């Protein structure tokens, strides 16, 4: 299983992102802010590819085991993050809920509105995401997360490309088909009258 976390907005105190599972959007993310020099409990982890494994000790594990009981197999921990320990995917609403971990949610607030960021329906997003990732881990699949930021150096355009369908061309094609069906119906009616 492959997870992709794309950081889309870097703020003063927080970082907004999008989480995809096997190339399908799953939920929003919130992390601490980016800093060149790590500050404990105040810095997002380095971009990179990390394996995810269960962490079955610690306060989060005890809390989530009590909350989710037999649906909880361990916290989702990113392995071998340089200069960081115990980096987890978990529920929470603002950057105050994380010390370098990745929070997940179903909604996301622009960092221009609140410098601490905010993601909502976090438990709901966590439960849906956790069920998918834990199923893969329980089936002995390797699970990795690739963390990177959106590349603003490439031009962004709404222009249709070969891999994007232009909605106007779809409407034009449907209009042509509709007109052809209308002509066929008229011909059928006129032939029925002749018979």
pLDDT in tens, the chain (195 residues): 999 999 999 888 899 999 999 999 999 999 998 887 777 777 889 999 999 999 999 999 999 999 999 999 999 999 999 988 999 999 999 888 888 899 999 999 998 888 889 999 999 999 999 999 999 999 999 999 999 988 766 665 556 565 556 666 677 777 788 888 877 777 777 666 665
Among 72, 70, 46, which residue's Cα sits nearest to residue 133?
72
The whole-number pLDDT of residue 182 equals 78
pLDDT the model gives residue 167: 64
pLDDT of 159 reads 61
Contact 55, 90 (CB under 8 A): no
Give the distance between the most distant pair of CA atoms in the chain. Answer: 87
pTM of the model: 0.76
Count Cβ atoms within 10 A of the Cβ of residue 179 and give its class: 0-12 exposed, 13-18 middle, 19 or more buried.
exposed
Backbone φ and ψ for 70, nearest 5 degrees, come out as -75, -5
Listed in sequence order, the residues at least 6 apart from 24 whose beta carbon sits closer than 8 Å to its beta carbon are: none
Spatial distance between the Cα atoms of 62 and 41, rounded to a whole number of angstroms: 21
Q: How far apart are CA 83 and CA 9, in angstroms?
A: 23
Closest to 145 measured CA to CA, from 80, 51, 75: 51
Give the whole-angstrom CA distance, residue 84 versus residue 99. 10
Among 147, 150, 154, CA closest to 10: 150
Distance CA 110, CA 114 (A): 7
Phi, psi angles (nearest 5°) of residue 37: -110, 125
Q: Which residue has the tokens 């390797």?
A: 142
CB atoms within 10 A of CB 142: 11
| Cα 128 to Cα 56, 57, 143, distances in angstroms | 20, 22, 16
């Amino acid at each position: 299983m492959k997870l992709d976390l794309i950081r889309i907005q870097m703020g003063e105190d927080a970082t907004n992102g999008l989480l995809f599972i096997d190339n399908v959007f799953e939920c929003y993310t919130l992390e601490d802010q980016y800093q060149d020099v790590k500050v404990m409990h105040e810095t997002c982890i380095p971009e990179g590819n990390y394996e995810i494994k269960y962490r079955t000790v610690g306060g989060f594990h005890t809390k989530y085991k009590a909350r989710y009981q037999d649906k909880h197999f361990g916290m989702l921990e990113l392995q071998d993050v340089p200069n960081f320990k115990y980096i987890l995917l978990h529920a929470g609403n603002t950057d105050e809920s994380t010390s370098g971990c990745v929070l997940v949610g179903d909604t996301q607030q622009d960092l221009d509105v609140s410098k601490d960021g905010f993601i909502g329906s976090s438990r709901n997003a966590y439960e849906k995401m956790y069920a998918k990732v834990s199923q893969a881990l329980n089936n002995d699949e390797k699970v990795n997360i690739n963390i990177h930021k959106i590349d603003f150096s490439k031009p962004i355009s709404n222009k249709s490309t070969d891999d994007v369908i232009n909605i106007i061309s779809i409407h034009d094609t449907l209009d042509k088909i509709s007109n052809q069906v209308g002509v066929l119906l008229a011909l059928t009616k006129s032939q029925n009258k002749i018979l």
